[in-house]
Amino acid sequence: MLVISERINGLFNSVGRAIDKRDARFIQEHASYQVECGAQALDLNVGPGRDDGPAAMDWLVRTVQEVVDLPLSIDTPGIKTMTAGIKACRNRVIINSTTAEVRKMQALFPLAKEHDADIICLTMDERGVPNDAESRAEMAMLMMTTAMEHEVMPDRLFLDPLVMPIKAAQDQVMKVIKAMELFRTLNDPAPRIVVGLSNVSNGAKERSLLNRTFLGMLLGAGLSAAIVDVQDPQLMDVIKAGELLRAEKLYCDDFLRA
């Protein structure tokens, strides 16, 4: 499973402040720490509601890639901010993300093609996130076919069924699992699937417990990648155990340290 760190995100106050002050040292230490914790890619998000989005993302990408060689997941809904991030990026790029909105697909699939990037496809459109699994699968299919029209092959996509907070939408949690089952029938080999795991526990108590329990369920349903809190050691242990149970890693008694 591809482990993507969620932590280089302006939503976190310390990171938001560091981006505002262009504090390269803070960001670089924080980014290196994500790698030490086991991150295999870093999600970069400058945070919502800033008027310097493209400049901030350009700076963030340049600053992080001075110390980290991993793929960078450029996380923004803004097409200008996305373009600035991709242009600055010498590491491998994951575009996070397009939606099923025509305007976004027309802008972002050509960028994915041009920069040989992976791209995350959120199963939502201008009307928002559908509240059933079938509509999510329909949108996934639309994004897969539109991507192919732009010569972006299915193996470059990650489908994202959009995890909702259990506190606000408890009935949506199992629909994500259902959507994943449908996604896996859309292509052969099955499309890759990614989630933002911590969404599920947003505003809830016992966040780590909810996150890691849900992660176990998602691993059983065929998850390929996840944006997670790599600074949570118990969560990272669930990933290691899950990789063994899915026979992606060879069993040994010392598997937590191996």
Which of 58, 118, 125, 160 touches ligand THG by CB under 6 A? 160
Is position 139 an interface residue for ligand THG (rule: CB under 6 A)?
Answer: no
Q: Which of 63, 65, 97, 135 binds ligand THG (CB under 6 A)?
A: 97
Interface pattern 61-90 for ligand THG (x via CB under 6 A) = --------------x---------------
Judged by CB under 6 A, the stretch of 98-106, 142-150, 190-198, 216-224 that binds ligand THG is 190-198
**What's the min distance (Å) between Cβ of 254 and ligand THG?**
31
Asked if residues 72 and 61 have their Cβ atoms less than 8 Å apart, the reply is yes
Number of residues in contact with ligand THG under rule CB under 6 A: 20
Name which of 84 and 176 has its Cβ closer to ligand THG.
176
The Cα–Cα gap between 214 and 229 comes to 13
Are residues 227 and 197 in contact, defined by beta-carbon separation less than 8 angstroms? yes
Residues 87-99: b if buried by 16+ CB within 10 A, e if exposed: ebbebebbbbbbb
Nearest to 151 by CA among 191, 110, 187: 110
Q: Is the dihedral of CA 9, 158, 184, 35 positive or negative?
A: negative
Quick check: 9 binds ligand THG (CB under 6 A)? yes
- Residues 48, 9: Cα–Cα separation, whole Å: 10
Footprint on this chain of ligand THG (rule: CB under 6 A): 6, 9, 11-13, 43, 75, 96-97, 120, 160, 162-163, 194-196, 198-199, 202, 227
